[in-house]
Amino acid sequence: MNTGQRFATSLAVALLAVAPTTGTATATPSVGTSAVILSQSTVDGIDYITREITIAPGGSTGWHYHDPVVYGIVRSGTLTHTLADCSEDGIFGAGAAVAEGQGPDHVHLGRNLGAEPVVMWVSYVAPTGTPSSVSMPDPGCGFA
């Protein structure tokens, strides 16, 4: 192998070492978000859970989707809801109802772009043991 071939081979190996690969994307964590269970019961293998979720000013839920049926109400503050195509599909103020689609085709992010905390009561209905959400990587919107 001549010097030029060794250089090309070394360069290719170096590029492969730093290139992103499928399946290595990491989920985006929530920022400034907390949740407290308000109620929880299981009936005939179905969990019914209600949480109070608080998002601090400047905070977000991180990108995620839900397998459970999810619906809630904004108690205070203003929630900005963004879809995986980076479009905002709603800005919800106090008293607004929020319902979300189920499954990986419904990746979204909730953000608090306001000056006061967003407080929501959110209910989840799903087979026992189903996670309330599945974290996902930023779909390319550049914020989390």
Can you say whether the dihedral through the CA atoms of 80, 98, 115, 109 is positive or negative? negative
Which of 101, 52, 42 has its CA nearest to residue 73? 52
| CA angle at 96 for the pair 93 and 102, rounded to the nearest 5° | 115
Residue 63 in any domain: the answer is yes
What is the CATH classification number for the domain harbouring 93?
A: 2.60.120.10
The whole-angstrom separation of Cα 67 and Cα 53 is 18
> What pTM, to 2 d.p., does this model score?
0.81
Domain total in the chain: 1
6, part of any domain: no
CA distance 107 to 135: 9
Task: Give domain status of residue 116, yes or no.
Answer: yes
Q: Does some domain include residue 23?
A: no
The structure tokens 């985006």 sit at 28
Decide if pLDDT at 130 tops 90.
Answer: yes
The contacts of residue 88 (CB under 8 Å, 6+ apart) are 80, 81, 82
Task: Decide if 39 is inside a domain.
Answer: yes
Domain hosting 67: range is 31-135
Q: Which two tokens stand for residue 108?
A: 């979204």
93 within some domain: yes
For residue 4, being part of any structural domain is answered with: no
In a domain, 119, yes or no: yes
Of all residues in the chain, the percent with pLDDT exceeding 90 is 78
**What are the pLDDT digits (tens) for 50-100?**
999 999 999 999 999 999 999 999 999 999 999 999 999 999 999 999 999
Q: Are 1 and 107 in contact (CB under 8 A)?
A: no
Instruction: Please tell me the predicted confidence (pLDDT) of residue 25.
Output: 59
